[in-house]
């Protein structure tokens, strides 16, 4: 795929993923135009002041709940990366209809606008919390995933193809536990909900590069899942605050002990590649079935979960991953 002549739009473009994604595109792929679509004028201004003022960059104010605005923004766009979402679990629990309006109905608006505008590729960002969800955020992301994948049924006679990427926790993203641990470290004690807890982990750079690859390879209808390492929450606490006491405070409502990226039921129509899994659409009526010629099928009752992973991060590896966040934290304190 040649990015040079492509117009790329990212919803939620002022977030941590959006900024990293845009930086990578501008530095390595040189698209014709990159459009930041988001609803917060202050964040757009701050982003521009932080150096995101490339000649090919455009800022477009709008909410994914506003379908007419999306349709206007999508005119002439080739690739849409759908990253806008309400993702804070407690906020979604306390404001359930707001989460549904943004994560589900907003995703429906993205689909409709892309189909109407003739966008060629739509890739939506999902999460491990969408698999067997136990909180409203996960449930809305599951619904959004199904909506994106099944909307290929509407695209048979059109150029638009829609797929998803599903991965785990991003080191240092907004809402990550690492800044919380760094703050708690100064008080001499960090809090952990349950010492048995495990999580999938990857860096922002890894996530962004994976998304770029998936855009280049997608046929439509797939859910792409990278092979990423797991870490234990106690190892993370020891990596961040090795001298501190650790207090176990009990698991919170809507929280899992372990995360799942591929369920046993999904594994029946999933293929494995060297560095990722591709969950093909269960219905073989349109796109995304080409992967069965590329990957190999998974064994019966395969389950890709953070506690049965074959790759685990050591405390030293975790320290290496969190070092940039730690340095930014220290810099913020000095300023």
Active-site position among 6, 121, 129, 227:
129
SS (H, E, C) 91-157: HHHHCHHHHHHHHHHHHHHHHHHHHHHCCCEEEEEEEHHHCCCCCHHHHHHHHHHHHHHHHHHHHCC
Distant-in-sequence, close-in-space partners of 77: CB < 8 Å, separation ≥ 6: 7, 8, 9, 35, 117, 119
Q: Is residue 64 part of a domain?
A: yes
pLDDT digits (tens, 9 = 90+) for 251-288: 988 889 999 999 999 999 999 999 999 999 877 566 65
Domain count, the chain: 1
Q: What is the rounded CA–CA span in Å between residue 165 and residue 228? A: 13
Q: Is residue 153 part of a domain?
A: yes
Residue among 303, 57, 321, 108 nearest 207 (CA): 321
Residue among 71, 67, 129, 139 nearest 100 (CA): 139
Q: Is residue 70 part of a domain?
A: yes
Annotated catalytic residue 129: yes
Average pLDDT over residues 97-101: 98
pLDDT digits (tens, 9 = 90+) for 223-259: 999 999 999 999 999 999 999 999 999 998 888 999 9
Q: Is residue 146 part of a domain?
A: yes
Q: Is residue 26 part of a domain?
A: yes
Burial of 178 (0-12, 13-18, 19+ CB in 10 A): buried
Residue 335: pLDDT over 60: no
Q: Is residue 314 part of a domain?
A: no
pLDDT digits (tens, 9 = 90+) for 150-160: 999 998 789 99
Average pLDDT over residues 114-120: 97
CATH number where 124 lies: 3.40.50.720
Average pLDDT over residues 137-142: 98
**Residue 140 domain boundaries:** 7-168+203-227+260-305
Q: Is residue 20 part of a domain?
A: yes
Q: Is residue 187 part of a domain?
A: no
């Amino acid at each position: 795929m040649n990015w040079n002549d492509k117009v790329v739009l990212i919803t939620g473009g002022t977030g941590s993923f959006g900024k990293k994604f845009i930086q990578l595109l501008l530095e390595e792929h040189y698209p014709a135009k990159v459009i930041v679509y988001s609803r917060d004028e202050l964040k757009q201004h701050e982003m521009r002041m932080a150096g995101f003022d490339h000649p090919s960059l455009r800022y477009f104010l709008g909410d994914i709940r506003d379908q007419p605005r999306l349709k206007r923004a999508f005119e002439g766009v080739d690739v849409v990366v759908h990253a806008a979402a309400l993702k804070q679990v407690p906020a979604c629990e306390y404001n359930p209809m707001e989460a549904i309006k943004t994560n589900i109905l907003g995703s429906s608006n993205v689909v409709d606008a892309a189909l109407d505008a003739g966008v060629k590729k739509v890739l939506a960002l999902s999460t491990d919390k969408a698999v067997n969800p136990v909180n409203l955020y996960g449930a809305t992301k599951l619904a959004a995933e199904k909506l994106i994948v099944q909307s290929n049924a509407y695209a048979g006679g059109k150029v638009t193809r829609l797929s998803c990427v599903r991965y785990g926790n991003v080191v240092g993203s907004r809402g990550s536990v690492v800044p919380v641990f760094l703050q708690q470290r100064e008080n001499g004690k960090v809090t952990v909900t349950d010492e048995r807890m495990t999580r999938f982990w990857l860096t922002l750079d890894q996530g962004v590069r994976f998304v770029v690859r998936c855009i280049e390879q997608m046929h439509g209808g797939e859910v792409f899942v990278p092979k990423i390492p797991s870490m234990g929450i106690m190892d993370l606490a020891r990596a961040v605050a090795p001298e501190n006491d650790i207090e176990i405070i009990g698991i919170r409502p809507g929280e899992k002990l372990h995360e799942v990226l591929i369920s046993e039921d999904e594994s029946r129509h999933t293929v494995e590649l060297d560095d990722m899994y591709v969950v093909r659409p269960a219905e073989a009526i349109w796109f995304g079935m080409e992967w069965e010629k590329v990957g190999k099928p998974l064994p019966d009752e395969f389950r890709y979960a953070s506690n049965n992973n074959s790759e685990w991060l050591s405390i030293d590896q975790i320290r290496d991953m969190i070092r940039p966040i730690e340095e930014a934290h220290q810099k913020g304190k000095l300023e």
